[in-house]
Structure 1
Amino acid sequence: MIVTLIVAAEISWWIVLGLALSARYLLRWQRTSTVLLLGLPAVDLALYALTVLNLRGGAEASWVHALAASYAGFSVGYGPSLVRWADRHFLHRFAGGPKPLPSPKYGPERTRYEWQVAGRTVVSAAITLSLITLLVPLSAGSAHYDTFAQWYWKLGIAAVVNLVVAGCFSLWPKEAPEGVRVENGRVVAEEKAPADRL
């Protein structure tokens, strides 16, 4: 049942986002778009609430319940950046907006980008672990910490790895190769080597 709810929540989240962007750029309904975007967290809260109700109803605690909590945590940590990504692409595809820029690849911009990703991962992991921890008292004892223990390790490792990667980019910034012109960390041109003359 929980797996079905997770899939339904994922589909619902993207449908609501699509409706919000359509209302904003195709119908010019700014207020409607804003209301729909504010409704995105409601999808995550509904999934988590149904997860708690499932446990309180006597379901045996399993990794699937933790997965539902991690979905909510991921949405909190990465949701705003996903909305901005979808907004830029929708604007370009359907409303004549500029082509979205790729992620920076070099220089301090790349370092800053890696720290942003690390920050989102840390927030996502912290929210997820908080929600997983709350499942125990909220489920009237039907869930046990042992059931979810592995998630603490997995999410902790994911957060640490992201922080280490960002730290490495701070210590050793990635420089553009020779012959590549870069602006704001993105490749704008590649200089071709002159052909050898006979």
Structure 2
Amino acid sequence: MNLVAWTIVVCEIGFWVVILLGLLIRYMFKREKLGLFFLALTPVIDLVLLIVTAVDLYNGATANRFHALSAIYLGVSIAFGKSMIRWTDERFLYYVKKQGTKPIRKTGMDYAYHSMKGSILHLLAYAIGAIIIVAMIYFIDDTTRTKVLSGTLELWLFILGIDFAISISYFIWQRPKKEK
């Protein structure tokens, strides 16, 4: 694995570490501001990944799947970051602190709308990632070094279409309630 691949791994681990630290400090040690500080570090992790990727390409590296993955990671992190933190926060409160209400499994139209909201966030992630990928292609200005990036955009767009098709299907075939 190359530098960008390892940076992605470290950033993903770092993302969850700062979230868990933020929640632990916030709820277990009752230090609201310090906990919020750790939660606010998630964009810094994204910035580190962006810098490492840009420097690697600037130094003449041929774009590979890890450079493309870094753009995907950044798009997903920015688009879904707030909802991932909220999801973790709710579960931490209920399962660890034994406070709040139990997270409810969505069904029917509630789940269909929830799924469509996720698809719209996926579209936002795609837009952010695509802007980063197109910027990489533009600044490198060498199609032989950026072929992987173009292919990634096409594949991701196909996956995005599948995501929307699945979300639309939930409006037709709704998710049933689980029998106890």
TM-score, length basis structure 1: 0.80
Ranges in structure 1 where 5+ consecutive residues have no aligned partner:
177-185, 191-198
- Cross-structure match for 1:156: 157
Is the partner of 1:28 in helix, strand or coil? Answer: coil
1:84 aligns with 2:86: yes
- Cross-structure match for 2:103: 101
Ranges in structure 2 where 5+ consecutive residues have no aligned partner:
none
- 1:110-151 CA deviation, whole Å, 9 max, x = no partner? 211111121121111111111111123445769844231111
- Cross-structure match for 2:112: 111
Q: 1:134 to 1:100 in 2, by over 3 A?
A: farther
Q: Which amino acid aligns with 1:148?
A: L
- Cross-structure match for 1:195: none
1:134 aligns with 2:135: yes
CA contact (8 A) 1:24 1:30 kept: yes
Q: Which amino acid aligns with 1:39?
A: L
Q: 1:142 to 1:155 in 2, by over 3 A?
A: closer
Q: Aligned partners of 1:64 and 1:20: how far apart in 2?
A: 28
Q: 2:51 aligns with which of 44, 49, 52?
A: 49
What's the offset of the Cα at 1:83? 0.9
Q: 1:20 to 1:138 in 2, by over 3 A?
A: farther
Q: Aligned partners of 2:155 and 2:105: how far apart in 1?
A: 26
CA contact (8 A) 1:136 1:143 kept: no
**Over the residues paired in the alignment, what is the CA RMSD in angstroms?**
2.2
Q: Which amino acid aligns with 1:130?
A: I
Q: Which amino acid aligns with 2:117?
A: Q
Is the partner of 2:30 in helix, strand or coil? Answer: coil
Q: 1:74 to 1:143 in 2, by over 3 A?
A: farther
Q: Which amino acid aligns with 1:126?
A: A
Which is strand-richer, 1 or 2? 1
Which is helix-richer, 1 or 2? 2
- Cross-structure match for 1:182: none
Q: 1:37 to 1:142 in 2, by over 3 A?
A: farther
Residue-pair matches, total: 178
Q: Which amino acid aligns with 1:168?
A: S
User: Which moved further from structure 2: 136-145 or 61-70?
Assistant: 136-145
- 1:21-65 CA deviation, whole Å, 9 max, x = no partner? 011101111111122211101101110111001111222221211
Q: 1:175 to 1:122 in 2, by over 3 A?
A: closer
